[in-house]
Amino acid sequence: MGDNERVSRSSTTRAPRLDQVCAAAVEVARAGIGEVDPADVGEHLTVVAEGDRLVTHFFECRLPGYQGWRWAVTVTRIPRSRSVTICETVLLPGPDALLAPGWLPWHERLQPGDLGVGDLLPTSADDERLVPGYLYSDDPGVEEAAWEIGLGRSRVMSREGRMDTAQRWYDGDHGPAAPISVAAPPAARCGTCGFYLPLAGALRQAFGVCGNFYAPDDGRAVSADHGCGAHSETLVESAEAPVEEMPTAYDDSAVEAVEAVTVAATAVDPAAGDDRS
């Protein structure tokens, strides 16, 4: 390593030395915070070296609503002078300051379910989930429909849009990990259910719509390996249960032995007449 390189490295990494004259000018710095009530300026917290003869004093801020914020007053002096002057005064957040959340564009703030009745949600022209309808959409179902109808939609879902959608559905409440699916019998999967209506297009391989009025997923897209207890074959399985496992309510095939009893004929008094006449 040459001398020039060594000198260059040491000059770029050298931390500024705290100027003792500027560091001692606490009251000069405090007096620089002149636009607020003195009661809103609290204890002197710390002093930081910013450069040669350039330091920043930090004071506690007691303004309501500014918890953890600090008044920062930067002061300096010219060489060989003990007169300290103020460069700037600002209010800065400290490490524990109460801060508002970072600003987000509206379309990044929206959450599923935020769209209400009557709301309009425009898509941006460069929404990567959509591609112009005249482009090959990479979805055979879309191509086939556009060909049959003779016109296409102005935009169709792009491959990225379909992949995102499929992943969201699969990971959500209508995929295999949903609680209702985990609790269902292993054989009760949507892909083998009579109420499963497969989607058209590329998503057909993994998704369909549940058409069972009694199922919680009725009218929703479900994955082929989702499942529930309302599977169309659930009743067939229970009807084929072995007879011997059914509890016997009456046993009318057994013979009960009873002892025969002879009853003596009752004598009839002719004088009593016949009630039937």
Q: List interacting residues with ligand SF4 (CB under 6 A).
A: 188, 190, 193, 195-196, 210, 212, 215, 217, 222, 226-228, 230-231
Q: Which of 85, 21, 72, 67 is nearest to 44 (CA)?
A: 72
| Least CB distance to ligand SF4 at residue 121 (A) | 28
Virtual CA dihedral for 179, 183, 187, 190, nearest 10 degrees?
-30
Strand partners, 132: 155
CA distance 137 to 153: 11
CA distance 198 to 218: 13
CA distances for 252 relative to 115, 129, 179, 246, 248, angstroms:
66, 70, 46, 16, 10
Question: Of the two residues 55 and 210, which places its CB atom closer to ligand SF4 in the complex?
Answer: 210
Question: Of the two residues 41 and 222, which places its CB atom closer to ligand SF4 in the complex?
Answer: 222
| Least CB distance to ligand SF4 at residue 195 (A) | 4
Question: Of the two residues 103 and 213, which places its CB atom closer to ligand SF4 in the complex?
Answer: 213
Sign (positive/negative) of CA torsion 126, 128, 133, 136? positive
Question: Of the two residues 130 and 188, which places its CB atom closer to ligand SF4 in the complex?
Answer: 188
Question: Of the two residues 58 and 195, which places its CB atom closer to ligand SF4 in the complex?
Answer: 195
| Least CB distance to ligand SF4 at residue 234 (A) | 9
| Least CB distance to ligand SF4 at residue 141 (A) | 20
Percent of the chain that is helix, strand, coil (3-state, to 5): 25, 20, 55
CA distance 171 to 262: 82
| Least CB distance to ligand SF4 at residue 191 (A) | 8
| Least CB distance to ligand SF4 at residue 192 (A) | 8
Strand partners, 73: 57, 89
Question: Of the two residues 57 and 226, which places its CB atom closer to ligand SF4 in the complex?
Answer: 226
